[in-house]
Amino acid sequence: MSDLYVNTGYKDTYLAPFGPIGIIAHTSNKEFVKNVSDVLSAKRKIRSQKPGNKYANDPGYSRENYLMDSELIRFQTGEGKFSIGESVRGHDIYVITDVLSHNMDINLIEGTQVISPDDQYMDLLRILSVLKGKAKRVNVIMPFVYEGRREKLDSHRESYDCADMLKKLYKLGVANLIVFDPHDARIANAVPLMSLEMPRCQFKMTSTLLNRFGSIKMDKNSTLVVSPDETGISRAIFYSSHLNLPLSFFYRYYYNQGGQVVRGFKYLGDDVTGKDILLIDDMINSGETMIRTANKLKNKGAKDIYCLAPFGLFTNGLELFDKAYTDGIFKCICTTNLIYAPEELKSRDWYLAADMIPYVARIIDALNSDESVYDLINSTSRLQDLASQIRIGEVFDGFNE
């Protein structure tokens, strides 16, 4: 009898949980992790009450709190250690880390210092060294990839820390690493034997934007998708193709001016006059690229500009964005809440955060049951469904006029 016949009717949901879930909040951004635990608890509580769930009574399946009792300790020398207050044996552990979290100071011999991404990374290694060989399985959720910005190696005299980081995580026993919208997906080549999942944020960001601004019309005569440069065009193509919107972009070129090489940007695409713009990038660092591009589009006659990027770092402060918003350069900047955002950013009228907490909880739930996460992390079908719903809604709105 063939395997195909035997496996007819097989469903992933029949798989037993890998082990009791344990979540470790790595960084000072503990509120996000606590909310993930709460959402997961609510989901499993509802599921455990359904008839036919043969795993509802398994130890640790449905709990009020999945957070493990743990503590990261810093000494005044800058050294640190990690301690865990309960056994992790037999557990399926999920370490949620935000290497960019900068809302905690440490007291050193010569004063205070903000914990840096390098400090966060070393703390992660400390956690994994404690868990290695004890937990049944260790998984890491690192939304923003540490040192993951490099898309090419310009010189062999430069460091390539992302590959080294991934190899260390693999050697420390990480079974699954989940990163969101990495700058360059080719980082997976550094660890071909480790499960590296890369969920996209496009669906949640787009739906959040449309819920806030219902006036955006998702049709080719009203809205354009624009990439600020050619390196990010693949990300913009994803939005454009699945929302059925035209794609435009700026490309960089260099010319000689007064004996100096000057960088310029040229626009390629449809006329933007009177059209809304979805300006797409992978992150907002200082914000100069986003503001420069939005300025050029405004000068060409664009209507409202909505900037979408999974990660908002705002390394040069918020004043540049405040001024651009006041001048009418853009209407909204939408990022996710996957990394730490200070209260002053959350209070800005121009800022919009897409809530990824339920999504992270769902990923943990799926991985714990060894469920296939392909459809879960792939935004393609959901974006297409969203686009079709929008167009159906526009048709009915037209009947009601």
Q: Which one-letter amino acid corresponds to residue 334?
A: C
Q: For residue 145, with 0-12 CB atoms within 10 Å meaning exposed, 13-18 middle and 19 or more buried, which class applies?
A: buried
In this prediction, residues 280-284 reach a mean pLDDT of: 93
Per-residue pLDDT, 360: 95
Domain with CATH 3.40.50.2020 in the chain: 12-200+357-370, 202-337+382-395
Confidence of residue 394 (pLDDT cuts 50, 70, 90): very low
Rounded CA-CA distance 40/30 in Å is: 15
Per-residue pLDDT, 380: 64
> What's the CATH class of domain 202-337+382-395?
alpha beta
Note the pLDDT tens digit of each residue in 131-162: 998 999 999 999 999 988 765 666 666 677 88
Backbone phi, psi, residue 192, to 5°: -65, -20
Rounded CA-CA distance 159/197 in Å is: 24
Rounded CA-CA distance 165/29 in Å is: 21
pLDDT: is 382 or 63 the higher one? 63
Note the pLDDT tens digit of each residue in 221-251: 999 999 998 888 888 998 998 889 999 999 8
Rounded CA-CA distance 72/129 in Å is: 13
pLDDT of 5 strictly over 60: no
Task: Tell the residue number behind the tokens 């933007």, with chain if given.
Answer: 272
Note the pLDDT tens digit of each residue in 204-224: 999 999 999 988 998 889 999
pTM: predicted TM-score of the whole model, two decimal places? 0.88
pLDDT of 376 strictly over 50: yes
Task: Tell the residue number behind the tokens 């290497």, with chain if given.
Answer: 99
Rounded CA-CA distance 71/78 in Å is: 16
Q: What percent of the chain has pLDDT over 70?
A: 88
Whole-number average pLDDT of the chain? 86
Topology of the domain covering 12-200+357-370: Rossmann fold (3.40.50)
Per-residue pLDDT, 12: 46
Rounded CA-CA distance 316/364 in Å is: 34
pLDDT: is 204 or 59 the higher one? 204
Q: Picking from 178-192, 319-333, 365-379, which range would have the lowest pLDDT averaged per residue? A: 365-379
